């Protein structure tokens, strides 16, 4: 009889102990945007580590952001799905209304596991996710809710990855590389690595929302010329003289917005890469900072990431289409061959044609989208580059930041002014298109 009594006590103790691990307010505690911000930062860190090009990075950000957004808007009548709005995105997995979920957990899992599909260092994401999932368990989320959430997150990730598999990316990677033209005015690889042209076929990727790559084609660049009275020559000289006369503030601006994941350093006979965040990664991080300042909810944060990332993805497709159509020579090449063989830009010239300026295009588009979501006069401090050894910069608006990002390419000596000005026009037009057409929130 005593043995039976002690057995009952032990069973009761175990049951009570297990019950204590379940928190009554687990739902409130898990509805925290910080889980999504940290998951996005982990994807960014791995992208930097793996050294992906800006266009490829933009594709990754778009798919991981959509996966998280579509989960977090479940059962929320205030938000619209991207189904029917983005090209090729069909009916998505829905939650089972008979089951209970942590949508934040499901979204974080979907974001990270979609991200693993696009990177090389999957192990880094696995290590991070293991720790993140333990945090959810430590909060006291019920086991059945945990299992339901992980299963749904994986279901969404699988669906998004299948959709991504049909965007023509694989076909693009097997297409011929860009053939450098022999004429004097076309783009040529630049020092120190003389890398081949990056993603010359990117314009063949399926767009997310714009009708075609030609929808926002910029005006043609000035014609190449060696005539010292020509518009092109004057644009070249303007870059040459600006770099030679940059003040300390202009140099700081150039370096702050460098965002070149391909920067190569030469030390004697040794060449090694400096890993930096990409232009779109910089704007994704700005979005994180802004969401935190605005105290945006988890679904509002997911909305911001998704809206921005699909806009930037199409902006890159449009920009890269123009780059390889016009194939404009970089300032460094022109100046070294025809003006000053010893001249160097402040920034290292990226490995693709000059026109239009990618940072000008995508920063302008980003400013439009973020202004729509957070307001035209939203002031913020940008600490994105602190981890790369650069100080914080303060801005009164997204447009001010975008304009600084654009002119930084002129200060840095890697773009002529037409690529910047016309690139801004291209980006603003794409941004307005998304701001007007992409539906996320019920007004």
> What CATH number did the domain enclosing 194 receive?
1.10.606.20
| Residues 73 and 218 grouped into a single domain | no
Mention every residue, 6+ apart, whose C-beta is less than 8 A from residue 331.
236, 239, 240, 345, 349, 354, 413, 414, 415, 416
Structure confidence at residue 4 (pLDDT) = 40
Is a pLDDT exceeding 50 seen at residue 251?
yes
| Residues 202 and 327 grouped into a single domain | yes
| Residues 52 and 198 grouped into a single domain | no
Which residue, of 148, 169, 190, is where some domain finishes?
A: 169
Structure confidence at residue 22 (pLDDT) = 62
Is residue 174 included in any domain, yes or no? no
Is residue 326 included in any domain, yes or no? yes
| Residues 390 and 424 grouped into a single domain | yes
Is residue 237 included in any domain, yes or no? yes
Structure confidence at residue 263 (pLDDT) = 80
Is a pLDDT exceeding 90 seen at residue 162?
yes
Residue 260, Cα to own-chain centre: how many angstroms?
13
Which residue, of 169, 202, 223, is where some domain finishes?
A: 169
Within 10 A of 133 (CB to CB), how many other CB atoms are there? 18
> In terms of Cα–Cα distance, which of 156, 155, 157, 137 is closest to 146?
137
| Residues 197 and 146 grouped into a single domain | no
| Residues 352 and 325 grouped into a single domain | yes
| Residues 56 and 164 grouped into a single domain | yes
Judge contact between 262 and 351, C-beta under 8 A: yes
The per-residue pLDDT for range 105-139, each reduced to its tens digit, is: 999 999 999 999 999 999 999 999 999 999 999 99
The mean pLDDT of 243-263, rounded to a whole number, is: 95
Structure confidence at residue 72 (pLDDT) = 98
Is a pLDDT exceeding 90 seen at residue 275?
no
Least reliable range by pLDDT among 197-211, 271-285, 384-398: 271-285
Is a pLDDT exceeding 80 seen at residue 424?
yes
Which residues, in sequence order, are bridge partners of residue 22?
Answer: none
pLDDT band at 14 (very low <50, low <70, confident <90, very high): very low
Is a pLDDT exceeding 80 seen at residue 250?
yes
Residue with tokens 């994105």, as numbered in its chain: 384
| Residues 214 and 354 grouped into a single domain | yes
Does an H or E element contain 265, and which?
strand 264-267
Query: Could you give the 3-state DSSP secondary structure of residue 266?
Result: strand
Residues in the chain: 443
| Residues 64 and 98 grouped into a single domain | yes
Is residue 214 included in any domain, yes or no? yes
Q: What is the CATH number of the domain that holds 49?
A: 1.20.144
Is residue 175 included in any domain, yes or no? no
Query: Could you give the 3-state DSSP secondary structure of residue 334?
Result: helix
The mean pLDDT of 356-385, rounded to a whole number, is: 98
Cα–Cα distance for residue pair 402/346, rounded to 1 Å: 20
Query: Could you give the 3-state DSSP secondary structure of residue 424?
Result: helix
What's the mean pLDDT when you consider all of the chain?
A: 93
Domain that holds residue 417: 181-437
pLDDT band at 168 (very low <50, low <70, confident <90, very high): very high
The per-residue pLDDT for range 215-233, each reduced to its tens digit, is: 999 999 999 999 999 999 9
The per-residue pLDDT for range 25-76, each reduced to its tens digit, is: 898 999 999 999 999 999 999 999 999 999 999 999 999 999 999 999 998 9
Is residue 443 included in any domain, yes or no? no
Within 10 A of 294 (CB to CB), how many other CB atoms are there? 16
Is a pLDDT exceeding 90 seen at residue 92?
yes
Is a pLDDT exceeding 60 seen at residue 247?
yes
Least reliable range by pLDDT among 10-19, 153-162, 276-285: 10-19
Is a pLDDT exceeding 90 seen at residue 267?
no
Is a pLDDT exceeding 80 seen at residue 3?
no
Is a pLDDT exceeding 70 seen at residue 389?
yes
Which residue, of 169, 189, 210, is where some domain finishes?
A: 169
| Residues 103 and 206 grouped into a single domain | no
| Residues 348 and 421 grouped into a single domain | yes
Is residue 218 included in any domain, yes or no? yes
Is a pLDDT exceeding 60 seen at residue 18?
no
Is residue 15 included in any domain, yes or no? no
| Residues 369 and 415 grouped into a single domain | yes
Which residues, in sequence order, are bridge partners of residue 395?
Answer: 380
Sign of CA dihedral 107, 113, 118, 119: positive
Split into its structural domains, the chain has a count of 2
Percent of the chain with pLDDT over 90: 89
**Is 0.85 topped by the overall pTM?**
yes
Q: Are strands 393-395 and 264-267 parallel, antiparallel or unpaired?
A: unpaired
Structure confidence at residue 1 (pLDDT) = 45
Which residues, in sequence order, are bridge partners of residue 382?
Answer: 393
pLDDT band at 271 (very low <50, low <70, confident <90, very high): low
12 CB burial (10 A radius; 0-12, 13-18, 19+) = exposed
Structure confidence at residue 351 (pLDDT) = 96
Cα–Cα distance for residue pair 349/202, rounded to 1 Å: 20
């Amino acid at each position: 009889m005593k043995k039976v009594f002690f057995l009952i006590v032990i069973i009761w103790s175990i049951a009570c102990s297990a019950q204590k691990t379940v928190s009554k307010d687990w739902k409130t505690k898990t509805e925290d945007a910080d889980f999504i911000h940290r998951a996005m930062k982990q994807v960014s860190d791995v992208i930097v580590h793996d050294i992906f090009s800006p266009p490829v990075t933009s594709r990754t950000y778009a798919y991981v952001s959509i996966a998280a957004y579509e989960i977090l808007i479940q059962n929320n009548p205030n938000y619209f799905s991207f189904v029917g709005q983005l090209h090729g995105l069909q009916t998505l997995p829905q939650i089972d209304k008979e089951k209970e979920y942590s949508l934040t957990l499901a979204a974080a899992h979907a974001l990270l596991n979609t991200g693993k599909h696009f990177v090389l260092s999957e192990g880094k994401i696995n290590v991070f996710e293991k720790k993140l999932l333990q945090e959810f368990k430590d909060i006291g989320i019920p086991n059945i809710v945990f299992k339901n959430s992980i299963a749904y997150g994986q279901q969404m990730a699988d669906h998004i990855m299948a959709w991504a598999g049909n965007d023509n990316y694989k076909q693009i990677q097997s297409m011929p590389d860009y053939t450098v033209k022999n004429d004097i005015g076309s783009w040529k690889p630049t020092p120190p690595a003389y890398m081949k042209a990056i993603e010359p076929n990117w314009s063949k990727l399926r767009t997310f929302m714009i009708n075609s790559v030609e929808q926002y084609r910029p005006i043609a660049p000035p014609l190449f010329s060696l005539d010292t009275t020509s518009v092109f020559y004057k644009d070249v000289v303007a870059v040459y003289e600006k770099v030679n006369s940059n003040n300390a503030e202009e140099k700081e601006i150039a370096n702050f917005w460098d965002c070149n994941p391909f920067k190569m350093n030469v030390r004697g006979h040794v060449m090694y890469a400096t890993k930096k965040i990409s232009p779109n990664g910089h704007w994704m991080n700005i979005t994180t900072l802004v969401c935190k300042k605005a105290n945006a909810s988890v679904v509002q944060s997911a909305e911001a990431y998704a809206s921005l990332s699909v806009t930037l993805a199409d902006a890159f497709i449009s920009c890269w289409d123009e780059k390889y159509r016009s194939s404009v020579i970089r300032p460094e090449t022109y100046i070294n061959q025809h003006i000053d063989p010893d001249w160097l830009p402040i920034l290292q010239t990226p490995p693709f044609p000059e026109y239009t300026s990618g940072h000008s295009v995508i920063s302008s588009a980003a400013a439009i989208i973020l202004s729509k979501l957070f307001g035209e006069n939203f002031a913020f401090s940008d600490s994105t580059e602190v981890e790369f050894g650069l100080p914080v910069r303060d801005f009164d608006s997204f447009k001010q930041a975008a304009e600084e990002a654009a002119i930084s390419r002129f200060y840095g000596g890697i773009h002529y002014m037409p690529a910047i000005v016309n690139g801004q026009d291209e980006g603003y037009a794409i941004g307005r298109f998304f701001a007007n057409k992409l539906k996320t929130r019920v007004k």
